[in-house]
Each structure stands twice: as C-alpha cells, then as structure tokens.
Structure 1
C-alpha cells in the first residue's frame, strides 16, 4: 500500500522550526525571570538594600553626576547582553570600551565599586550578592534620591562571564532614531512603545555631549539637513548653538532636561511639548502622532509617568537574566572570576 504521508515544503519546515525555537527561547526567558524575587537575599544578605543605599547616598553627596550615570549604566547593561553586569567588565574586548559605552560615567562606575565593597564588607554578605543585582538596586536608589519613585526591585540575577564589544553599537538606540527604529529595538527586548516612552523619561536627569545632537543645530554640506530630525524651538536652537558651536569642544555638553536637570520628574515631557528635546530620538516622541498622546499624558500626570516607569524598569530588569552555569557571582565587578 502506497504511503499517504506528505512532506512539508522547505519554507513550511523552516517556519515550524522558527516557531519551535521561539517557544524554547520564551520558555528559557520565563524560567530565568522566575528565579527573580524581592526577598532573594533575605537569609543570605538581609541588609543588602541598606548597604547599597548607603553607598548611593554617599556618592550623590559628592556628585550628582552619578545619578544619571548609574541609570544609564543599568539600561546599557540590560540592552546589550541582558542584566548581567557585563557592562562593568573592564578590558579591551569588553563592552564599555566600545561605541556608546565609551562615554559611560566614571562616577557611576565608582558608585557600583563602592556599593560592591560595602556589601562584601558585611561578613554575612561577602561574595553572595551579584554585581548585576547591586547595579539594579543602585539604579532604583539614584532615581529615588533624585526625587523619583521608590519601588521594590526583583533580585536573583547572576553575573555574566563575558562582554562582547562587537554587539554594543547594534544593541542600543541611536540619538537619531525615529519612532519605528525605537519601537523595533525595544520590542526585540520585550518592551512596548509605552515602556519605551516611559524609560526615555529617564532623560529628565543627565546630559548629552554635542556630538550626539550637533547635526540638529546646523545645515551641513552634502544634503545632511535631513539629519536634523524633528523641528526645534528657535530660541532653544540659538541657545544650543552657543553651547555647541561648529568648533565645539569634545567635552562640551547640554542638559537633556534644561528645566529641572537635577530632579527626576516629568519635566522631560514638558520640554518635548515645547520643542526643546535635545536628541532627535527624544523629540520624535512628540513629533510623531503615534506617540504624542502618551507624551502629553505623562506631561500632564507625573504619577502616571512614575507608575509607567516603575513597570518598565521591572520588565527591563528581567532581560537576559543568567542562570546556572551561564552566570556567577563576581568577586570583583570589573573582572570575571
């Protein structure tokens, strides 16, 4: 009797295989995130939050620069290799020697070093808390101490063992990204457009160097005017040209939120409404009709922004969590064991 079994076309087999791989990856991510919980160190290092918070407080008393720097450090870490502190690894082939990570704040890196020393200085906690979790706690604490929301942090991440500088450039949003590019990158990390807009609100504190937005200020030869992105408030444009002349210094910078640059609030969204967004990737959130309503909502309701930010930070903190042999608890945050 002739067999009636039919073969799938190769394209169908590939689709099925891709679907199966997707299911496996989703299950892996789910299991990794499942190991996270707010009381992970309750028995092994019950004072971990107090110890990290103390280090944050001390550093911020010395310089506010550590606040936006630490928040950026956490975001860069999670987006590049997952939240595994690989961004802290220091070496010629590691992440923070490449692309956007070359401008990570020395003050933020010092804050994490101090927090790690404070945690390991408690005999009950020595070598029991990952650098990834210390970074997650420190990011929460700088936000809170800058006037933003205080929220519970899920813990239980392991530290990654490698840093891959080659993937940094393609893993992080660019200063000139449009809404589609932003949404695509954030969606690849399991984040929605609302999450993206809320996390962008982290720019309510911090600065950007001239090289990231100078093309918004001038019409360059060769048809590069298109790179200027969304329109800019004319008075603000003139101000920024004074800050960043054509022969600007490499160290020149401007505040991302010129109104309340040292306070974590919803002022960032107000600047977008006034067409004073420094980066094209910021201003596009108001310029594009698809995202404008959310910007307006957060500008009018700081509580709504804070709630959305906390929810987005929780999702951000679950990206690429390492488990088992894939991770470790580093003795020194800048080096694998």
Structure 2
C-alpha cells in the first residue's frame, strides 16, 4: 500500500512538473520580453523616445498617425512590420484602401536609421513600431507601459490581406467583436483600443454617408447627435474630400478619456465609435469611463496594447531584422 501511494504521488508530481514545463515552454515560445535589447543595444529605447519627444514638441499632430501605424501593422499578419514594406507592383499592404491615409513612414525610416547607426542589424522595424506607439502616447500626455520587445520582421506583404483584415470605421458592433476576437482580443480590448480615437483627425469622406445618405434616402445616421451632425455638415459639404475633422474636438493632440464622453453623447466621429453603444459590455465600459473619478482607461490601455503587440509575432530565428524598413534584406 505504501509503495502504491508513493507511485501515485510520483505520478501526480510528474504530471504537475510536465505541466509547469509545458507552460514555461509556451511562455518562452512567444519570445518577447521587456528589455530585450538591454545588452545588444542598451540605448535603443532611448533613441526612439528622444526622436518621438522632439517631434511631438515641434508638432503634436504628427504623433497620432504613428500610433495608427502600429494598429494597422498588427491586424494584418501580426506585429511583424509588413505594413512598412513596399512592392514595385504596388500590391503591398500600404497600398490597400484602408491604408492609403497612413502617414509617418518617413519618420519611422529616420528612427531606424538612427538605430542602425547606434547598433547595426539589432533592432527590428516591428519593435520600432511598438516602441513608437508607446512613446507617442506618453508624449501626448497619455499613460506609459512596459513594451515587450524581441519581434523580428516579416518578409511578406499582401494588399488583399490588408483589405480583408483591417477593422473598418463603418463596421457594426457584431463585425468589430468578431474581428477583434479573431486576433485574440476581447470586447474590453475593443472598446479600450477604440479609445485611441481621443487623438488624431480624419477627413470628410469618413462621415459623408452618416451626414447625407445613411440609408440611401438622403438621410443622416439617427445614432449621431443632431447638433453634432449639423456642425459636421457646416464643415463638410457633400463633395468635400480634404477638410480635417478632429476625432476629439478641442483636444485631438492630448491623450485623455474625453473620447468616452463624446461616444456616450452620440458624438463619436466614426460609425464604429457609435457601435460601442450597441453592446451591453462595451457600452458599460464607455459609461464607466465618463465618471469623474475611478476611470481605469489609462491602465487598461497599456494592458490592451501589450496584448495587441503579441499578435502573430515572429521571434527567434523566424523572420529577419530589416536594415531598411521598406524592403526585405538581400541575402
């Protein structure tokens, strides 16, 4: 009997040990960690931070497009820098309709050049995007979080993948939830990351249908506050394609929680913003962040950004560290 007990004990101990080892293997397989470049390129994060803070100090409006680059990269093939690649046939991700308004590629090039000068061939373009996203938010008075690094860059970019994978500003809540879940992001992540619309701007075509022809009968979107809709119509005539619209009027270069107040008052610029009120869980989060005290948005944003930054990463010997973010290395 004693021998049997020892055998059973050893069996369960072995099962627990194997389980723990398996868990560690899964964690390590991700290959990301905070401070990945501490030894190989100790000044890497400092180089990125200085570049961002210098830029935002001169012109804060340049910051939000860089944050947007990270989102657009991670939702297509994962966070592996494919949104930065160019192809001669113009069939790259950046040529897809959802990406035609992306900006900041030259600035990413400048940061990468500075990093290549500091430590050649060490810091990936995909990690540059992740670090830039964090530093832009901080520079615009938003929260900070520890960025996991160690990503490697992909060698493939496909215009069709960008068209089919990017969440649309015209999407309803069901589509948005499905798209985010397909990337391992839940409903809370959806509404938290939508909060990034507290900075940046868009152009009139993004709201044209909401203002002038929502159901094809020359009507406006009933989910849009009437006073806000009238204000937008004064700015955007039906054929206007160039006028800038602040996504968070009055503070579009300050990362704060006022976005949620706008959404709660039906003054979100995009249909996808308004859609957050059409699900009980996302609506509850929106309303919670409008309270004077107890907002968790800043903390939650950092958590969701870390989750976003883990999507489809390439680590170890998979992928490469591009010398030029716009093209794959030549071997």
TM over 0.5: yes
Q: Could you tell me how far apart the structure 2 residues matched to 1:253 and 1:276 are?
A: 16
Q: Does 1:234 align with 2:226?
A: yes
Contact 1:52 1:137 (8 Å CA) reproduced:
yes
Find 1:294's aligned residue among 285, 289, 298.
Answer: 285
Give the distance between the partners of 2:273 and 2:233, measured in 1 at CA.
Answer: 18
Q: Look up the SS of the partner of 2:245 in the other structure.
A: strand
Counterparts in 2 of 1:336 and 1:32: CA distance versus 1, 3 Å: farther
Q: Which residue of 2 aligns with 1:283?
A: 274
Q: How does 1:1-337 map to 2 (within 5 A)?
A: 30=26, 34-91=30-87, 92-105=90-103, 108-122=104-118, 125-219=119-213, 222-223=216-217, 225=219, 229=221, 231-248=223-240, 250-300=241-291, 301=293, 303-337=295-329
Partner-residue secondary structure (3-state), 1:208: strand
Please state how far the C-alpha of 1:118 moved relative to its aligned partner. 1.6
C-alpha separation in 2, matches of 1:267 and 1:67: 18
Output one character per residue of 1:2-46: Cα deviation in whole Å (capped at 9) or x when no partner: xxxxxxxxxxxxxxxxxxxxxxxxx9x956763100121111001
RMSD value over aligned CA atoms?
Answer: 2.0
Q: Distance in 2 between matches of 1:259 and 1:265?
A: 11
Q: Give CA-to-partner distance per residue, 1:244-290, whole Å, 9 cap, x none.
A: 11121x22221111142111000100111221111110012124444
Instruction: For residue 86 of structure 2, give the secondary structure of its aligned residue in structure 1.
Output: coil
TM-score normalised by structure 1 residue count: 0.85
**Secondary structure in 2 matching 1:245:** coil
Q: Deviations over 1:271-318 (max 9, x none)?
A: 112211111100121244442111011222574001111111000000
Contact residue 206 and residue 255 of structure 1 kept, 8 A: yes
TM-score relative to the length of structure 2: 0.86
For the residue of structure 1 that corresponds to 2:202, the secondary structure is: strand
Ranges in structure 1 where 5+ consecutive residues have no aligned partner: 1-26
- Judged with a 3 Å threshold, the aligned counterparts in structure 2 of structure 1 residues 41 and 290 are, in CA distance, closer, same or farther, namely closer
Runs (4+) of structure 1 moved beyond 6 Å? none
3-state DSSP class of the match of 2:168? coil
Q: Secondary structure at the match of 2:112?
A: helix
Preserved contact between residue 68 and residue 206 of structure 1 (Cα < 8 Å): yes
Residues 152 and 314 in structure 2, CA contact (< 8 A), matched pair in contact too? yes
Displacement of 1:86 in angstroms is 0.7
For the 8 Å contact 2:30–2:313, the answer to whether it is kept is: no
1:83-113 C-alpha deviation (Å, 9 max, x unpaired): 00110112312110111111101xx212211
Partners of 2:124 and 2:319 in 1: CA distance:
10
1:265 alignment partner, SS class: coil
Following TM superposition, by how much is the alpha carbon of 1:172 offset from its aligned partner in structure 2, in angstroms? 1.0
Specify whether residues 33 and 286 from structure 1 end up closer, same or farther in structure 2 by C-alpha distance, changes over 3 A only. farther
Residues 220 and 197 (structure 1), Cα distance of their counterparts in 2 relative to 1, 3 Å cut: closer
Which residue pairs with 2:3 in the alignment?
none
| Count of matched residue pairs | 303
